[in-house]
Amino acid sequence: MINHHTTNKNRAPRISQDTTNKDSYNKINTERGDTLIYAMGGLGEVGKNMYCFEHENEILIIDSGVRFPEDDLLGVDYVIPDYNYLVKNNRKRKILIITHGHEDHIGGIPFLLKSVDIEAIYAPAFAVALINKKLEERKMLRGVKIVEINDRSSVKMQHFTCGFFNTTHSIPDSLGILINTPNGRIVETGDFKFDLTPVGSNADYQVMAYMGQIGVDLLMSDSTNSGVADFSISEKKVAAEILDTMKKTDGRLIVATFASNVYRVSQILEAAVACGRKVIIFGRSMENVVTIGRKMGKIKVGEEHFLKPEQLSHTPASKTCIVCTGSQGEPLAALSRIANGTHRFIKLIPGDTVIFSSSPIPGNGASVNQVVNKLFKAGANVLTKSILGNLHTTGHASQEEQKLMLQLIKPKYFMPVHGEYKMLKQHKETAMETGIPEENIFTCANGDVLILRNHHVYESSFRIAADDIYVDGNDISGVSTAVLKDRKILADNGLVAAIIAIDSKENKVLCKPVIVSRGFVFIKDSQGLLKEAEMIVYDALKEKMKQRTTFSDLKNCVRSTLEPFLYNKTHRNPIVIPVIINSKAAMAAMAQARATRVNQRKTPRKPTTHEPS
């Protein structure tokens, strides 16, 4: 917890004496009356956005997102922030404001509400619809106060007053936020780009310029595309390219894009209708977004233009457009199932055209390539974004757009947010090009605390815990790193179980252990290795049981004997699980297990069979 020390606000900041950090000389202690700024997610990563502003007895939270796990996080569904600091400060009044409805900004709301007392959630219209759907599915809608906001709204707390301005993004109703605090003004942009010919509403350029004129102390701005030069392509150019491609395509069309990119989905549907095609939607998230988009008037395509799954086989290929999820190669998404030939309603036929109206998120390139290869093998024609075709554009500001935001807001201090570390550093360099002094730019990590005091920003000598919590299913207690380590070992090296029968009254091993492996070695080809392992464990246990011992000692004896032996023989480190049966009756079961394994060894192996280890 961050401590507040009573002091005179106008006194010079007190310098921390912590000598363990070489940069600690310019970090200061927090004092009563300071406004604290920190991220619980969104720094050093793309996703999990959650930015907090704390003043005395109030905490204002901007966004509550999730990050989707990398391939090495086996069995993990979501990565969320550690909410412990907020739980410890549950006595403080807290509200949550949402900038827009993408999962990396709203996906963590159900988990946050389970842990933290939130007085109310304020969100723009489209985000409200998505949040309601999310909470309704989890039966959490009752008791949650959700208030719809727009660019004319004002949210007032005791110490914070928030105003809003429209930004352009790939989803409707995207807002930036002006936060007035007792110590100065902060602007948090949310996700944005500058599109001079947007599909949806325009950004509030005049409002941004006005904020710059009245004075902004700290700007927190989206850094996702800091490494991309120039301006991004307009969404209307993408719309024209998709329409042109559809006009030139004779056969069946399959279009994959982000379900959350509502404007893109709307353009795809409108282009299909303009080309006389019926549309069918596959993918749960895509179906939800299209349903909500049509209900709110953001997608203006009538019911008569949609097909039901059972109608697909009776509709000519040239009159069909399939819009689906899976543009990032997700294994369970609709496009991956289509490519694998496992989709319930769609079988690829030669001549199908598949359009990827997206770009691979960093880390997803290999998964996307696998899907593309399978589509080509099935005879499909696959189109992706390239220098020859503008089938996708980003929803995030490129370098020149970031400079425009900096020039409009004219902040005294700058904190790049929403991006990996290299993106934050590149955004820092962009800010320096616009004239912000290097010492006024803060490249922070999750948990770092900035202090806003009398219109000046300082780094605090305190940090809060902001670790990742790995969620398996809906359990927010989190998957421990030990569990993830075990899953990795199981995936790479497999498991070996040593089953041991003992008589604790007589303090002796009743028979030789039985060793069983899964995913470690092929049992039929490794009988010699397993027999030798059994004898080594048997001898070690007999020696151990010459003296008084415990079950824990016996298990440690098995592990310390078996693990080095298996590594020396195979150079692999499987998980070793000792199973101790304390019963004479177990001897019969052990003998039966050994007999079964002998019979397996005698069974002739078919040369064409490929069995898993």
Catalytic residue positions? 222, 396
Residue 191 assigned ligand-binding role? yes
Q: Residue 379 region, left (φ>0) first, then alpha (ψ -120 to 50), else beta? A: left
* β-sheet with 475-479: strand ranges across: 78-81, 468-472, 475-479
* β-sheet with 411-417: strand ranges across: 154-156, 161-166, 175-181, 184-188, 216-222, 411-417
Residue 23 assigned ligand-binding role? no
Cα distance between residue 52 and residue 59, in whole Å: 7
Residue 153 assigned ligand-binding role? no
Residue 260 assigned ligand-binding role? yes
Residue 394 assigned ligand-binding role? yes
Cα distance between residue 116 and residue 52, in whole Å: 14
Residue 472 assigned ligand-binding role? yes
- Beta-bridge partner residues of 159: none
Q: Is the dihedral of CA 500, 504, 507, 511 positive or negative?
A: negative
DSSP string, 5-74: B---TTSPPPBP---SSTTGGGEE--BTTPEEEEEEESBSBSS--EEEEEETTEEEEE----BPPPTTST
Residue 393 assigned ligand-binding role? yes
Give yes or no for a contact between 437 and 25, defined as CB atoms under 8 angstroms apart: no
Query: What is the CB-side half-sphere exposure of residue 397 using CA atoms within 13 A?
Result: 28
Task: Identify which of 73, 13, 6, 8 has the alpha carbon closest to the alpha carbon of residue 461.
Answer: 13
Cα distance between residue 189 and residue 193, in whole Å: 10
**Residue indicated by tokens 């069983």:** 516
Residue 44 assigned ligand-binding role? no
Residue 75 assigned ligand-binding role? yes
Residue 77 assigned ligand-binding role? yes
Task: Identify which of 14, 16, 36, 34 has the alpha carbon closest to the alpha carbon of residue 25.
Answer: 16
Residue 395 assigned ligand-binding role? yes
Beta-strand ranges (E) seen in 325-479 are 353-356, 381-383, 411-417, 448-453, 456-463, 468-472, 475-479
Query: Greatest CA separation found in the chain?
Result: 88
Structure-token pair, residue 108: 């963590």
Residue 102 assigned ligand-binding role? yes
- Residue ranges of the binding site: 75, 77, 100, 102, 104-105, 169, 191, 259-261, 392-396, 418, 472
- Residue ranges of the binding site for Ca(2+): 75, 77, 472
- Residue ranges of the binding site for substrate: 259-261, 392-396
- Residue ranges of the binding site for Zn(2+): 100, 102, 104-105, 169, 191, 418
